[in-house]
Structure 1
Amino acid sequence: MTPRAYRLCFVCTGNICRSPMAEIICRELLPGYGLGDGLVTVSSAGTDSWHEGEGADPRTVRELAAAGYPGGERHVARGFTAADLTAHDLIVALDRGHLAALRRLAPTPADAARIRLLCPDGTDVPDPYYGGPEGFTACRELIEAALPHLLTEVGTAIGTATGTDAATAHHGKQHLA
């Protein structure tokens, strides 16, 4: 019997900028950390459902494509629901406001413990929505910088050896500063 995949969900406000960017980048990096082949599934959602059913912000799609990450144009926004608390092994908030909102939904301390910030140092991933393209680039770079730590933790949690670092995991390109 094949073990169930480890389920990871990224959460931001509207699920059109930060969380789909994290989802798509993470999905692309999984094989480089020994987490491909269905070992880990990745999704995203928003704390609010304002944009439910819409695609990713066009600036998100452009930023992802320019950095070599495919699939941004296929994203469909959705709101985070109470069912997501049990449907995922780890829920990753993109900022402290999301973290607090998600933990308020958690019915038990064990559920709250499965919700964490993306950045291990507690840094928020700033919302690029109201700015220009440079904000989307900064968002991508911060996500790329935080994912190695997260993917190493996930690999440890599920007992797989992690492979290359994020600097080479994505098509062998150097993405990190």
Structure 2
Amino acid sequence: MESVLFVCLGNICRSPAAEAIFRESCPNIQCDSAGTAGYHVGSPPYPEMPKAARARGIDMSDLRARQFCAEDFRNFDLIVVMDQDNQENVESLRPAGDRTPVVLFAPMAAGFDVEAVPDPYYTRDFDGCLDLLESAAQGLKRYVTQAGV
């Protein structure tokens, strides 16, 4: 596995944080993030998320939002989504015959019994979101290691 795309709704909180966390733990894997909606294309992450991430030593300063597109299926080996709505939106753009895996991120987190990464833009729990993302990133690292990276 050479590349992973993280996807959430607006690409300003969850998916860019997941990208930043994962690229530090697996620098040999190409990472990117995108949103299923185009609300924030070109914008930096929502200010509270990089602030909380910075307190943990995670740098998100170079990230800018972009919208997910069908071409992403061709450009990435794995697409990791933050919740079921994101998964449905991503799947709706899947090109015929494409077999790129699209998986939920939260179930990869040890010690968390959740199916989705709650959106801190609405919950305001940026630290709780980062706790879940960091744990899920470790689970994803184990997954890609077993896949032969």
User: TM exceeds 0.5?
Assistant: yes
TM-score w.r.t. structure 2 length? 0.89
Tell me the CA shift for residue 107 of structure 1. 2.4
**Which residue pairs with 2:79 in the alignment?**
91
Q: Going by fraction, where is helix more abundant, 1 or 2?
A: 1
Query: Residues 94 and 105 (structure 1 numbering): CA distance in 2 closer, same or farther, change over 3 Å?
Result: same
User: Which of residues 124, 134, 149 in structure 2 aligns to 1:144?
Assistant: 134
SS in 2 for 1:153: helix
Q: CA deviation at 1:7?
A: 0.9
Q: Aligned residue for 1:175?
A: none
RMSD of Structure 2 on Structure 1 (CA): 1.6
Is 1:107 aligned with 2:95? yes
Structure 2 residue identity aligned to 1:12: C
**Residues 131 and 97 of structure 1: CA distance in aligned 2, closer, same or farther (over 3 Å):** same
Give deviations 1:32-86, integer Å, cap 9, x for gaps: xxxx3xx31110000011100001110011011011112x122110000111111
State the percentage of identical aligned residues: 38
- Other-structure match for 2:105: 118
What is the number of equivalent residue pairs in this alignment? 144
Equivalence for 2:50: 61
Distance 2:78 2:135 in 1: 19
- Runs of 4 or more, structure 1, over 4 Å off, are none
Q: Which amino acid aligns with 1:77?
A: A
Report the counterpart of residue 73 of structure 1 in structure 2.
61
Q: Which runs of 5+ in 1 are unaligned?
A: 31-35, 161-177
Structure 2 unaligned residues grouped into runs of 5+: 108-112
Distance 1:128 1:122 in 2: 15
| TM-score computed with the length of structure 1 as normaliser | 0.76
> Which residue does the alignment assign to 1:165?
none
